[in-house]
């Protein structure tokens, strides 16, 4: 029982199909109602697909787990209608400080640039996140979240999968065109399929504790290497809503996890950190060993894995949930086009291509951070300490300090869905990159560019508007003209997209650039759309 939060208990309802004993075919069944499965439900519904989510439990994440959510995940949730609520509740922060022993070694500022709707990073307990996602899912009757439904077996066929599900009323079967595996790092589904999940465990343990404390430390990320209150290990302090603070203590491999979990031991550690007189209550604590692992293939027949079931990272870059949400961003529109018969299954395979590339990037960054935080040998420890000491004396060592490289989207630079640039462009919006937001005005009202993108393919055109839309092969590509359909009030759209007159961007439903040109050429556009839906 948490003191600052009452976890909802969602009702178990026996489904009509279980009552009737009639096997029903669903277009999409999602396994797992964690952050990723719930986001999947919202995305599929936004694509106009009826979706059933099965979860073996009937509440939100017990204890907080994830804390930090980055701009891209927030933008995706904003597209799905609940980003603003998360930002309103969350604690925004920008500054990270890194201490070595008792000295400030380095500090970083996440503040990218102004002119984005979503902040660089917020902190929010994972249970709030899931709670809000469930609330949002209730607004759409295409979504049915079935609590106390545990997947216990799966049988794959050529064009569907048969699921065996256990509920308090017994066992029943259902069929799905596509099954989305969002059942977490210990995925049952992954074992049922027999997919490989390889990588490595770090020989270290961490005590993660959330405490309730009224303190006026600023909302900054404070990270210590080898502090006086916790010699030879690292520690972290971070603010969450409701006066809850996240503390991490590295424990080393030789500790006894059971001992460390004892409340008196945790309280002693917190007091060593914050002082004997500090007034706090323990909200939740757990001891973790972290791993960096990835599934071999994100797609196995009719089963597609997303989130922790597909990749697990150490939490130092806050990459777990953040990247899982981006998996879904990549997947929803692809499944829709394949279900509609507009695209072939090659488009689903591009999900593996793009998201395994991103997963590898995340794994690399998480592994590097973990190696810095948890040096594996004395020599590596010396390098680590050398970097930290030098960082206090000279700037060149600062970029080498690694207390976690915080989650950023991985552009799909080599994706087979991209059309290679033929023209020269300045700026960052190369094919495969997620679109930068910008302030705009629409019919005299302030708005944001990203809120205009994301429903189907869009052609973002600068200058004259050549036509309203292009209809082709079951697809409608909407033309959105800067100046005509929206006003570039601060000139930031032009600047960020290097938008000289005539410039045309083809933007995917997941707000990523597929292609761009210096003029509007229908033949080239049609070829690029085909390519972007896996048609080559």
Partner 1 sequence: MALKETLTLADPDGFYQELIESQRDMSEDEQQLMNAKLVLILANEVGDRAKISAAIALAARRPMGQSFMPLV
Ligand X SMILES: Cc1cc2nc3c(=O)[nH]c(=O)nc-3n(C[C@H](O)[C@H](O)[C@H](O)COP(=O)(O)OP(=O)(O)OC[C@H]3O[C@@H](n4cnc5c(N)ncnc54)[C@H](O)[C@@H]3O)c2cc1C
| Chain residues in the site for partner 1 (CB under 8 A) | 97, 99-100, 102-105, 217, 222, 228-229, 237, 273-275, 365, 368, 371-372, 375-380, 382-383, 387, 389-390, 392-400, 402, 405
Instruction: Determine the 3-state secondary structure of 248 from DSSP.
Output: strand
Helix (H, G, I), strand (E, B) or coil at 369: helix
* Two structure tokens written together for 197: 């999940």
Q: 406, 321 in Cβ contact below 8 A?
A: no
Angstrom distance (rounded) from CA 320 to CA 363: 10
Shortest CB 2 distance to partner 1, Å: 24
Find the distance separating the first CA and the last CA of the chain, reported in whole Å: 54
Q: Which does 128 bind (CB under 5 to 8 A by kind): partner 1, ligand X, none?
A: none
DSSP assignment of 442-482 equals ETTEEEESGGGS-SS-EEEEESS---SEEEETTEEEEEEEE
17 binds, among partner 1, ligand X, none (CB under 5 to 8 A by kind): none
For partner 1, the closer CB: 100 or 127: 100
- The least distance separating partner 1 from the CB of residue 392, rounded to whole angstroms, comes to 4
For ligand X, the closer of residues 180 and 387 by Cβ is 180
* Nearest residue to 371 via CA among 203, 185, 249: 203
Of the pair 2, 272, the CB lying nearest partner 1 is at 272
Q: Which residues contact 103 (CB under 8 A, 6 or more apart)?
A: 392
Q: Which is nearer to ligand X, 149 or 494 (CB)?
A: 149
Distance CA 122, CA 126 (A): 12
Q: Report in angstroms how near the CB of residue 355 gets to ligand X at its nearest.
A: 13
Q: Which does 99 bind (CB under 5 to 8 A by kind): partner 1, ligand X, none?
A: partner 1
Return the one option of partner 1, ligand X, none that residue 465 interacts with (CB less than 5 to 8 A, by type).
none
Q: Return the one option of partner 1, ligand X, none that residue 380 interacts with (CB less than 5 to 8 A, by type).
A: partner 1
- Rounded to whole angstroms, the Cα distance separating 470 from 295 reads 39
| Distance from C-alpha of 476 to C-alpha of 123, rounded to nearest angstrom | 38
**Closer CB to partner 1, 82 or 244, in the complex:** 244
The residue of the chain with the least Cβ separation from ligand X equals 34
Choose the contact partner of 389 out of ligand X, partner 1, none; CB within 5 to 8 A by kind.
partner 1
Provide the Cα torsion 343, 344, 348, 351; round to 10°.
Answer: -70
- Residues interacting with ligand X, by CB under 6 A? 31-37, 54-57, 65-68, 126, 150-151, 182-184, 188, 208, 288, 307-308, 315, 318, 320-322, 324
For partner 1, which is the closer residue by CB, 167 or 365?
A: 365
CB of 52 to ligand X, least distance (A): 11
Closer Cβ to partner 1, 64 or 370, answer by number: 370
Shortest Å, Cβ 469 to partner 1: 43
φ, ψ of residue 74 in degrees (nearest 5): -65, -35
- For residue 491, what are its two tokens? 């000139």
Is the Cβ of residue 128 or residue 372 nearer to partner 1 in the bound state?
A: 372
Cβ nearer to ligand X, comparing 183 with 498:
183
The H helix count followed by the E strand count for the chain is: 13, 28
The site partner of 387 among ligand X, partner 1, none (C-beta below 5 to 8 Å per kind) is partner 1
- Cβ 470 vs Cβ 151: under 8 Å: no
The number of angstroms, rounded, from the C-alpha of 176 to the middle of its chain's C-alpha atoms is 25
Q: List, as one string, the DSSP characters of 254-314.
A: SS-HHHHTSHHHHHHHHHHHH-TT--EEEEEEEEE--EEEEES-SEETTEEE-GGGTEE--
CB atoms closer than 10 angstroms to residue 67: 26
Nearer Cβ to ligand X (210/354): 210
Q: How far is the CB of 507 from partner 1 (least distance, A)?
A: 30
Among partner 1, ligand X, none, what binds residue 521 when CB lies within 5 to 8 Å by partner kind?
A: none
Minimum CB distance to partner 1, residue 387 (Å): 8
Cα 390 to Cα 54, 225, 403: the distances in Å are 52, 14, 15
Least CB distance to partner 1 at residue 100 (A): 8
Taking the complex as a whole, how short is the minimal distance between the CB of residue 499 and ligand X, in angstroms? 33
Q: How far is the CB of 12 from ligand X (least distance, A)?
A: 13
Instruction: Indicate which of ligand X, partner 1, none lies near residue 449 (CB less than 5 to 8 Å, by partner kind).
Output: none
348 binding partner (options partner 1, ligand X, none; Cβ < 5 to 8 Å by kind): none
């Amino acid at each position: 029982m948490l003191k600052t939060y009452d976890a909802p208990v969602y009702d178990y309802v026996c489904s009509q199909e279980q009552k009737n004993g009639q096997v029903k075919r669903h277009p999409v069944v999602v396994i797992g109602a964690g952050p990723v499965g719930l986001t999947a439900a919202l995305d599929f519904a936004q694509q106009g697909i009826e979706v059933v989510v099965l979860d073996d439990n009937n509440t939100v994440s017990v204890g907080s787990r994830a804390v930090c959510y980055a701009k891209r995940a927030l933008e995706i949730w904003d597209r799905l209608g609940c980003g603003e609520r998360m930002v309103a509740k969350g604690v925004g922060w920008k500054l990270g400080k890194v201490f070595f022993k008792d000295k400030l070694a380095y500090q970083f500022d996440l503040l990218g640039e102004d002119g984005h709707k979503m902040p660089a990073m917020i902190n929010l307990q994972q249970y709030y996140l899931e709670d809000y996602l469930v609330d949002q899912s209730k607004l759409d009757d295409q979504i049915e979240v079935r609590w106390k439904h545990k997947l216990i077996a799966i049988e794959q066929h050529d064009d569907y999968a048969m699921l065996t599900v256990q509920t308090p009323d017994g066992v029943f079967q259902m069929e799905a065109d596509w099954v989305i595996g969002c059942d977490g790092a210990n995925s049952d589904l992954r074992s049922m399929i027999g997919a490989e999940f390889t990588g490595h465990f770090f020989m270290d343990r961490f005590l993660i504790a959330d405490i309730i404390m009224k303190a006026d430390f600023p909302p900054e990320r404070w990270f210590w290497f080898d502090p006086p209150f916790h010699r030879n290990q690292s520690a972290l302090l971070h603010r969450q809503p409701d006066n809850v603070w996240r503390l991490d203590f590295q424990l080393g491999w030789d500790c006894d996890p059971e001992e460390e979990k004892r409340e008196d031991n945790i309280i002693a550690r917190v007091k060593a950190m914050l002082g004997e007189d500090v007034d706090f209550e323990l909200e939740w604590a757990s001891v973790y060993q972290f791993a960096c692992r990835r599934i071999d293939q994100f797609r196995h027949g009719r089963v597609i894995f997303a989130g922790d079931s597909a990749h697990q990272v150490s939490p130092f870059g806050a990459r777990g949930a953040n990247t899982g949400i981006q998996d879904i961003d990549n997947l929803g529109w692809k499944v829709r086009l394949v279900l509609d018969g507009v695209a072939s299954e090659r488009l689903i395979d591009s999900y593996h291509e793009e998201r395994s590339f991103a997963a590898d990037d995340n794994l690399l960054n998480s592994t590097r951070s973990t190696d810095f935080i948890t040096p594996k040998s004395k020599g590596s420890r010396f390098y680590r300490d050398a970097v930290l000491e030098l960082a206090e004396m000279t700037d060149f060592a600062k970029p080498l300090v690694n207390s976690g490289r915080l989650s950023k989207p991985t552009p799909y630079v080599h994706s087979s869905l991209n059309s290679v640039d033929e023209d020269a462009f300045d700026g960052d919006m190369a094919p495969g990159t997620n679109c930068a937001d910008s302030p705009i005005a629409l019919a005299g009202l302030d708005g944001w560019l990203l809120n205009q993108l994301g429903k189907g393919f869009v052609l973002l055109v600068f200058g004259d508007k050549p036509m309203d839309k292009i209809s082709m092969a079951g697809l409608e590509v909407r033309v959105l003209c800067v100046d005509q359909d929206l006003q570039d009030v601060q000139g930031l759209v032009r600047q960020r997209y290097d938008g000289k007159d005539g410039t045309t961007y083809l933007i995917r439903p997941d707000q990523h650039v597929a292609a761009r040109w210096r003029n509007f050429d229908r033949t080239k556009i049609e070829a690029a759309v085909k390519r972007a839906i896996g048609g080559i």
